[in-house]
Amino acid sequence: MFSRYFNFSTMPYKEKKVEKLYYSIGEVADLFNVNTSLIRYWEKEFDIIKPKKNKKGNRFFTQKDVDNFHIIFYLVKERGMTLKGVKKKLRENKEDTNNNFEVVKSLKEIRELLIEIKEDI
């Protein structure tokens, strides 16, 4: 039925994004376009960020850590909150903060997809 409307043979194949298990501090800093010193500072300031460290002391961040950085980055850089305000918000209402962040993240992904579709047309 759908083949009547869509020509699947000409649709581009998109591979599923492979997520890494661990990110180095440099990779995390690049994701947010910030210095590694800011990543280390936020790690010390927020107890929700707990990177694994090897014997040399190199930090390896999980996807959960990266997601927490996204929340902190969003609240500080996009919403203009202070670190003290972010800590209070996360401490008092972490679940709502996570839910709001997920909604914003989903909307941004939908927007990117729509822009991509528009460019393909």
> What integer pLDDT is reported at residue 12 of this predicted model?
53
Task: Quote the CA–CA distance of 106 and 112 in Å, as a whole number.
Answer: 10
Identify whether 7 is part of a domain. no
Identify whether 89 is part of a domain. yes
Identify whether 44 is part of a domain. yes
Count of domains in the chain? 1
Whether 2 has a pLDDT exceeding 50, the answer reads no
Contact 83, 45 (CB under 8 A): yes
Which residue segment(s) compose the domain that 48 sits in?
14-120
Q: Which residues contact 86 (CB under 8 A, 6 or more apart)?
A: 46, 72, 75, 76
> What integer pLDDT is reported at residue 18 of this predicted model?
62
Whether 65 has a pLDDT exceeding 50, the answer reads yes
Task: Quote the CA–CA distance of 57 and 36 in Å, as a whole number.
Answer: 14
- 15 — pLDDT class (breaks 50, 70, 90): low
Identify whether 1 is part of a domain. no
- Start-to-end CA distance of the chain, whole Å, equals 22
> What integer pLDDT is reported at residue 16 of this predicted model?
57
- What is the number of H-type helices and E-type strands within the chain? 4, 3
- pTM summary value: 0.66
Identify whether 111 is part of a domain. yes
Task: Give the count of beta carbons closer than 10 Å to the beta carbon of residue 119.
Answer: 7
> What integer pLDDT is reported at residue 21 of this predicted model?
87
Whether 89 has a pLDDT exceeding 90, the answer reads no
Span 9-23, average pLDDT = 64
> What integer pLDDT is reported at residue 91 of this predicted model?
83
Task: Quote the CA–CA distance of 73 and 42 in Å, as a whole number.
Answer: 10
